[in-house]
């Protein structure tokens, strides 16, 4: 397996923003397998000739089969301030998803209660009174319909594990390629979920920052009618 090349979207003394390829774990894999975090640390160490260990804090983690914008903090001070922005929902997280079937209505909001199935390492929609249940909220808008599927813009309001994948599947439109959550259609690489845009405030200057990542080539290979302009 070839080691992926990091695609840098933004960097300064406080932040590093990358476009994560699908099938690369963000962090935390056993056995020394490459992760986005390990590659990013290697990049910072080499680029800035850093001695010793490199600090990077993952602020926006993505599932391994998901591509798109990932924000990392280069200092603990930046990490603390960015964590507070995410905690207070002061960030704007927008995703693209290709889902099976035609989505109706063309725009709306999904609200569910979700819980974690440790045994099968997946999430489920559960009753609100179940111990450990957490509210999951998102809104969506149909961008266009393709043959047999729909292209959605999804905005996360909460950040639950596998939230978009679970909720879209639960409401009848699993993400293309996502076998774990009921998808039947195949996708060239990973699944058709992409963290398209992330808007935050800079941790030291307070300036508004917008990071946008182009989707992988697999999206265009899936259907040539897709227009990313």
In the annotation, is 12 catalytic?
A: no
CB atoms within 10 A of CB 21: 18
* Residue 53: both structure tokens together: 């260990």
* Residue 190: both structure tokens together: 């990973």
Q: Is 98 helix (H, G, I), strand (E, B) or coil?
A: strand
Rg (the chain; Cα; Å):
18
Residue 221 CA to its chain's centroid (Å)? 21
* Residue 188: both structure tokens together: 């060239």
Q: Identify the active-site residue in 63, 92, 112, 227.
A: 63
Q: Please list, in sequence order, all residues whose beta carbon lies within 8 angstroms of the beta carbon of residue 65, skipping any fewer than 6 positions away.
A: 22, 23, 177, 178, 190, 191, 193
The catalytic site residues sit at 63
């Amino acid at each position: 397996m070839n080691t992926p090349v990091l695609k840098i979207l933004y960097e300064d003394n406080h932040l590093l923003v990358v476009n994560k390829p699908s099938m690369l774990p963000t962090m935390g894999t056993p056995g020394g397998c490459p992760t986005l975090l390990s590659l990013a640390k290697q990049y910072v160490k080499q680029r800035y000739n850093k001695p010793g260990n490199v600090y990077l804090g993952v602020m926006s983690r993505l599932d391994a089969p998901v591509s798109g914008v990932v924000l990392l903090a280069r200092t603990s001070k930046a990490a603390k301030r960015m964590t507070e922005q995410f905690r207070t929902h002061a960030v704007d997280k927008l995703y693209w998803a290709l889902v099976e079937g035609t989505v109706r209505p063309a725009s709306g909001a999904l609200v569910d209660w979700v819980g974690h199935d440790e045994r099968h390492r997946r999430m489920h929609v559960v009753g609100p009174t179940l111990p450990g249940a957490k509210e999951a909220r998102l809104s969506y808008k149909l961008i266009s319909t393709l043959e047999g599927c729909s292209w959605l813009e999804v905005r996360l309001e909460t950040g639950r594990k596998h939230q978009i994948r679970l909720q879209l599947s639960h409401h009848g439109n699993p993400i293309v390629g996502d076998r774990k959550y009921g998808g039947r259609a195949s996708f060239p690489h990973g699944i058709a979920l992409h963290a398209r845009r992330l808007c935050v405030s800079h941790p030291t200057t307070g300036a508004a920052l917008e990071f946008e990542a182009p989707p992988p080539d697999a999206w265009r290979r899936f259907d040539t009618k897709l227009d990313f302009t």
